[in-house]
Structure 1
Amino acid sequence: MGEDSKSIGEQGELIVRRFLELIGWVAYQSNIPINCMHSIEHKSTTAKKERKTHGIDYFYANKSNLKINTLDNIVISVKYSASEYPKYPSTKFKEHITDLSQTLECFIRSNLRTDSIAEFNDQRSIKKADDLGVLFWINNCKKSQQNIVKEVANIEIPKELKFSKIYLVDNSRVSFIHKTITYLKNKYENHEVNFHYNQSDANFSDPDIIKYGTIMPVEYLTADIIPFRLINDQETIFGISINDNFSEENLNSILAYASDISQDFTNELIILFPDYDNLEHKNIYEKVAGRFNKKQNRTIVKIHSFQNEFWSLGDE
């Protein structure tokens, strides 16, 4: 039984490791122990001894391109199982959040955080560090349609937990991102896939922030819209992937969003939906895209569907 649990855990870490590399988080550290600063408070209910350490599955740090003068220290926890999510996930979710929250609480006073800040100290534009958690709660149940993020959205987090922000990533979320990037890499193999970094009040005044790059911002892990650029020596294509089904309303919304971004660097726009079907949706596409083209000086709009599964990341 213990050997099975070890194999399951290793498979989960393998999938997450390859997923991190897919989104550009290649400079990660893995399997890092840090000292526990609250040995009694952080002791599990089943443990007989006080806690001495916390284990960090992955750690990734990078200067944010969505927040001004900010270093993101990202502590990643992987919770992987062979079976589907619990029918009533509240208890297990609180266990996972508690574990990661306590790890973050001790990370703030760890040498790992000190070293991370020191490494980026030569970048004068960094003035603060955000200590964030990412919880990968995924499993090997490929047929499950359970959206665990929505199911736990209204669960009350224990008040004693201390953390600034934790991003929850479930099967459906990993699948959406994996499908999007894999589709783009296969379909546009002569282009480099870059994430577009949205400009906002949170980052516009930082002169060192770039507009696009191969590293996905942590905020996009839980976003239902992923903006991207496909770049080669001849052209730049702007694109948006949507974690929602095709409809005239959704298409209008996405085109309105795109029109504020893309005019200065491209005249081609690609939109990815999970379920777009040319036979079924062509009339809606032509009507809406035609109106958009007239307003945007003949911008070319293309719509595709993305499909493939993220579990293949665990295949040898």
Structure 2
Amino acid sequence: MGEWSKTVGEKGEEIVNYFFNEILGYKTILSNESIVCNKGLKHKSNSSKSNKTTHGIDALISAKSPLEDNLLDIGIISSKFTSSIYPNSPKTLFKEYLADLAFTIECFKNSKLYSDINQKFSNVNRTDITGILVWASNKSSQKEEIISKVSNIILDNDLIFDKIIIVDNDRINFFVETVQNAKKEFGAENVKFVYHNSNLNTIGLQSVSYGDFLPTNYLFSNIIPIRVINKNEIEFIIFSKENFSKENFSKLLAFAKSFDLLHSVNNIILSFSDFNDLTDEPIILSELLNFDHYQYGKNLFVKTHLSDFRNTKKS
């Protein structure tokens, strides 16, 4: 049983490294760190007879934020990979996972590791700590999601954290279908994440409006904007997790139009999971009456990021 638990744990670490390194672009990931617990009585588990002494950190990422000037983003990652399917009623287990991660964040703020990481970055006057719970399942489907099943839980008052993001099978699969497949198609060196104007990054956007890593704030977004160099042309691709509709198409195209720091974009590509060229093209042509700069099939393309032989407008 111990060996099996070890194997499952190692698989969870493998998934975390693959997701944050290969897909999201974090070059340095600290793994299996340990910090001192400063609140042993409060943080001990209900089944433990003694106070907690340490917290284990499965993985940690850090980077200067491209969305806010002089901000350091730190992500504390907890891997809860399971070899089984997701439980039908996951709330109790989720609350346990959430409390463990929140307690780790609480002690991390006063740890030597936190201090050491901050000292490695210059021109930083604020640090944000985000908890990231990666709860992946080996036997549930790739598109199985857990977030909606735990969204209405009541949190304990003693949990102290600013933000915790849940990453489940469905969320990981979305990034694999979009970002990872784009890196395979165009080459990882030709794919960059696009950073929007948040009104807090006026200094940063003057020099960097796109880059190699995805900010933690984008992890729970249903839109992923990337910049691609494809055969000497610059393409702006926006992947949407929402289904294609007249409203979503117009909203996404208006969003694309708002970017003006991508250095002469040749084509804009909007990608939906359920787009069908035959039935949806009339909607696009009708909506383009409101966007006179774009011509469908010339400088604007719409596609699906799922493989489908019926959609051949843009390869």
Alignment TM-score > 0.5, same fold: yes
Change (3 A) 1:284 1:233: closer
In the TM superposition, residue 219 of structure 1 has moved relative to its aligned partner by 0.8
In the TM superposition, residue 274 of structure 1 has moved relative to its aligned partner by 1.1
* C-alpha contact (below 8 Å) 1:105/1:163 kept by paired residues: yes
1:130 corresponds to 2:131: no
- The residue aligned with 1:15 is 15
- The residue aligned with 2:100 is 99
Change (3 A) 1:232 1:283: closer
In the TM superposition, residue 164 of structure 1 has moved relative to its aligned partner by 1.3
What RMSD in Å do the two structures reach over aligned CA positions? 2.2
Amino acid paired to 1:266: V
- The residue aligned with 1:314 is none
- The residue aligned with 2:311 is none
Among candidates 219, 237, 242, match of residue 235 of structure 2: 237
2-side partners of 1:53 and 1:223: how far apart?
33
Task: Provide structure 1 residue ranges, at least 5 long, that are not aligned to the other structure.
Answer: 309-316
Among candidates 145, 148, 160, match of residue 147 of structure 1: 145
Change (3 A) 1:209 1:99: farther
Task: Provide structure 2 residue ranges, at least 5 long, that are not aligned to the other structure.
Answer: 308-315
Change (3 A) 1:296 1:145: closer
* C-alpha contact (below 8 Å) 2:142/2:170 kept by paired residues: no
Change (3 A) 1:98 1:209: farther
- The residue aligned with 2:114 is 113
Q: TM-score, normalised by structure 2?
A: 0.89
- The residue aligned with 1:193 is 191
- The residue aligned with 1:311 is none
**Structural mapping, 1:70-89, within 5 Å:** 70-89=71-90
**Structural mapping, 1:1-316, within 5 Å:** 1-21=1-21, 22-120=23-121, 123-124=122-123, 126-143=124-141, 145-189=143-187, 192-206=190-204, 210-231=208-229, 234-262=232-260, 265-288=264-287, 290-291=288-289, 294-296=292-294, 300-307=299-306
Secondary structure in 2 matching 1:11:
helix
Q: TM-score, normalised by structure 1?
A: 0.89
Amino acid paired to 1:10: E
Change (3 A) 1:207 1:258: closer
1-side partners of 2:3 and 2:278: how far apart?
50
- Per-residue deviation, residues 229-249 of structure 1 (Å, max 9, x unmatched): 013683321110001111222
Amino acid paired to 2:30: Q
Amino acid paired to 1:285: I
Which of 42-51 and 298-307 deviates more? 298-307
- Per-residue deviation, residues 36-76 of structure 1 (Å, max 9, x unmatched): 11111111111122211111000111100112210012111
- Per-residue deviation, residues 57-113 of structure 1 (Å, max 9, x unmatched): 001111001122100121110011012222122111110110000001111111110
In the TM superposition, residue 227 of structure 1 has moved relative to its aligned partner by 0.9
- Per-residue deviation, residues 249-272 of structure 1 (Å, max 9, x unmatched): 211111111111158621310111
- Per-residue deviation, residues 12-58 of structure 1 (Å, max 9, x unmatched): 11011111112111211100111111111111111122211111000
Moved over 3 A (4+): 205-209, 285-288, 295-299
In the TM superposition, residue 11 of structure 1 has moved relative to its aligned partner by 0.8
In the TM superposition, residue 307 of structure 1 has moved relative to its aligned partner by 3.2
Secondary structure in 2 matching 1:291:
helix
Structure with the bigger RCO (C-alpha within 8 Å, sep 6+) is 1
Amino acid paired to 2:306: Q
Count of equivalent residues: 304
2-side partners of 1:225 and 1:159: how far apart?
32
Change (3 A) 1:150 1:60: same
Change (3 A) 1:233 1:295: closer
Identity of aligned residues (%): 35
Amino acid paired to 2:104: T
1-side partners of 2:163 and 2:232: how far apart?
40
